[in-house]
Amino acid sequence: MRLDEKQRVAEELQQVLQDNGTIYLTDFTGLNVKAITEFRSQLREQGIGYRVVKNTLMRRALEGLDLPDLSEHLEGPTALILSESDPVAPAKVVKDFAKEHDDRPIIKIGVVDRREVEPAQIDRMADLPSREQLLGSIAGGLTAGVGGIAGVLNALMRDITHMIGEVAQKNEAA
């Protein structure tokens, strides 16, 4: 690759790193082309990017960015898993895929919201409910509260109506 091409690729990679809030560096050693293609497909279904990078170009792209120093993790084959915001979805895809493929790919390190995240933390994130599930739980909790209030108000109105009916019967009897 010529120097001007390397510079162009490094600048493009730098832009990609800036645009994504979640970045996982992975080692895909041990995965064949078929498995990597399947992995890419699963990531794409979730709207997650996957890109194999040269370590030297990655080092160059990291220069000047407000990201942790990842240079010690840029050894051997490196691929980036990129998500604009949600750190849980890519963690789930990696964990589920690795269960079926001899614990491959391996997460070397992660960056979430410009902070370094260890592989063990990413593994724990994979066990969290997805963003949609959390929002659904919150919405369910809110509607349950409103439903409870409506039930109490209905019971109160029923009791008042019953009491008025009893008072009216006593007045008629008297």
Q: What is the 3-state secondary structure (H, E, C) of 36-70?
A: HHHHHHHHHHCCCEEEEECHHHHHHHHCCCCCCCC
pLDDT in tens, 94-113: 999 999 999 999 999 999 99
Copy the structure tokens of residue 113: 């919201």
Residue 1: pLDDT band with limits 50, 70, 90: confident
Strand order in the sheet with 106-112: 49-53, 78-83, 22-27, 106-112, 115-117
Say if residues 67 and 25 touch (Cβ distance below 8 Å). Answer: no
Q: Show me where the domains of the chain are located.
A: 3-128, 130-174
**Gyration radius of the chain's alpha carbons:** 28
* 101, burial (CB in 10 Å: exposed 0-12, middle 13-18, buried 19+): middle
Domain 3-128 is found in CATH 3.30.930.10:
no
Selected residue with higher pLDDT from 168 and 81: 81
Give the type of residue at 99: K
Residue 144 has a pLDDT of: 73
The pTM of the whole model exceeds 0.85: no
Share of the chain above pLDDT 70, in %: 99
Share of the chain above pLDDT 90, in %: 68
Q: What is the mean pLDDT of the chain?
A: 90
For tokens 């890109």, the residue is: 51
pLDDT in tens, 120-161: 999 999 998 877 777 888 887 777 767 777 777 777 778 777
Cα angle for residues 13, 84, 112 (degrees, 5° grid): 90
